[in-house]
Chain A
């Protein structure tokens, strides 16, 4: 037998879920999400810029510097992958792995 609390939950969920799903599927919600993404991007950029300036003042690396370094390393890794592929050493079979 379904407990009473569950019956109440199902009733409430049955009433709210379709409305919420409709709301999240609406064009207005998509616009809000887009505005939110733009705002978050702006805030992140500005915060990073300010903190980077402050950290650089103390000769310390900022998160952006680390990210740039990681991107550079990733770029190098991709080049190594291409070179290994050209040299025929990109694949590792099961026995060697």
Chain B
């Protein structure tokens, strides 16, 4: 949404194009540096349905969802959940709403000292079950499609394995780490006799956001430089600038990783690789992945440099569901839900699966009440 620009006087087409391009570059650089007319993000209207501690359950507004069950999005513990609703026209949530889904999002908030003692169980045995119950009730007790992204997918798996009686209708995990031996070394630097997890925690007892960000930067050391080069090359393009601003903001906007959950992640997954061995013991309880029997979709990004396909693929064989689908898509980790390819290919493919595992919605009193 940029302000209209003066156009260059028409002399010869190439000269006019060149001048227009320079004017546009200058204007876009000015507004970028001065922070004028920044990209609008997370604009899909939504309502707060429930909060507990710093956790918030949001419901995105929709005229009348045509599909049931509702979809509950579960995000990672280290990044911001607005990636699901990045920009108007470039939003996973917006697309799902257009397709007729009733969409909810569980947002973890920004952890501080109060969350340092949060274990993985805090999320999988407390917050997620509570959110699922609320979403199920609001959707007329027809179950919930639980959709986890990245580490959120791991949380969704652990939750589903430990709560077989909960109203989970479908389970979708996207770009989710399963085999931690196949994760990039930069994501496995802590533990395994290398960096002591305690040395990574700050005075709040959490892994600081800057530390989380630097571990992602190590995956592509020249990534930031390449991003600046893209910026400079495409500065004349208003659409590019808008997406650039949104994506760079999100990719630098990490949140602290709660300390106790981080220690468990290192012990259970980075050191013991417990998930792929189906030997996860969480808070004194074994979580057997074969107990997951609901329809299951494992979404793998073929060009994912954060959670590469060999780390994601083994999850497909872990669950006990009869209805299991593995969806491989030609995109990167974030490209699954953001960008043109996501809009044209990845998101529709996931939505097709969810729609095939949903029913036509009919107005019911419970839903009307929740609305």
Q: Residues of A at under 8 Å CB distance from B?
A: 2-3, 6, 9-10, 13, 16-17, 20-21, 24-26, 29-31, 33-34, 37-38, 40-41, 63-64, 67, 70-71, 73-74, 77-78, 81, 90-94, 97
* A62 → chain B closest CB, angstroms: 11
A20 lies within 8 A of B199 (CB): no
B130 lies within 8 A of A30 (CB): no
> B246 interface residue, CB < 8 Å from A?
no
Q: Across the interface, which residues of A come within 8 angstroms of B112, CB to CB?
A: 74
0/1 interface trace, chain B 214-242, chain A, CB 8 Å (1 if under): 00001111100110010001000000000
Q: Across the interface, which residues of B come within 8 angstroms of A93, CB to CB?
A: 49-50
* B145 → chain A closest CB, angstroms: 21
* B18 → chain A closest CB, angstroms: 12
Please report the number of residue pairs spanning A and B whose Cβ atoms sit closer than 8 angstroms.
Answer: 92
User: How long is the Cα–Cα vector from A90 to B54 in the complex, in angstroms?
Assistant: 11
A33 lies within 8 A of B189 (CB): yes
> B48 interface residue, CB < 8 Å from A?
yes
0/1 interface trace, chain B 54-93, chain A, CB 8 Å (1 if under): 0000010000000000000000000000000000000000
B229 lies within 8 A of A78 (CB): no
Q: Across the interface, which residues of B come within 8 angstroms of A90, CB to CB?
A: 52-53
A91 lies within 8 A of B130 (CB): yes
- Whether A74 contacts B185 in the complex (CB less than 8 A), given A30-B194, A90-B52, comes out as no
User: How long is the Cα–Cα vector from A13 to B229 in the complex, in angstroms?
Assistant: 11
- In the A-B complex, the 5 residue pairs with the smallest Cβ-Cβ separation, listed nearest first, are A74-B113, A67-B203, A25-B185, A20-B221, A74-B114
B195: contacting residue among A37, A64, A71, CB under 8 A? A37
Can you offer 13 A-B residue contacts whose CB atoms are under 8 A?
A: A3-B233, A20-B221, A24-B186, A25-B186, A63-B203, A64-B203, A71-B113, A74-B114, A74-B205, A77-B114, A78-B117, A91-B52, A94-B48
User: How long is the Cα–Cα vector from A45 to B48 in the complex, in angstroms?
Assistant: 42
A92: contacting residue among B51, B220, B222, B225, CB under 8 A? B51
A94 lies within 8 A of B117 (CB): no
* A6 → chain B closest CB, angstroms: 5
- Number of B residues, CB within 8 Å of A: 35
A38 lies within 8 A of B199 (CB): yes
A13: contacting residue among B53, B195, B205, B225, CB under 8 A? B225
**Majority-rule SS of B interface residues:** mixed
B193 to chain A: closest residue by CB: A34
B198 to chain A: closest residue by CB: A41
B229: contacting residue among A6, A26, A64, A73, CB under 8 A? A6
B194: contacting residue among A3, A13, A31, A91, CB under 8 A? A31
A37: contacting residue among B53, B196, B203, CB under 8 A? B196
A17 lies within 8 A of B222 (CB): yes
User: How long is the Cα–Cα vector from A15 to B266 in the complex, in angstroms?
Assistant: 34
User: How long is the Cα–Cα vector from A57 to B174 in the complex, in angstroms?
Assistant: 55
> B204 interface residue, CB < 8 Å from A?
yes
- Whether A37 contacts B50 in the complex (CB less than 8 A), given A25-B185, A31-B194, comes out as no
* B118 → chain A closest CB, angstroms: 9
B199 lies within 8 A of A37 (CB): yes
> B116 interface residue, CB < 8 Å from A?
yes
Q: Across the interface, which residues of B come within 8 angstroms of A92, CB to CB?
A: 50-52
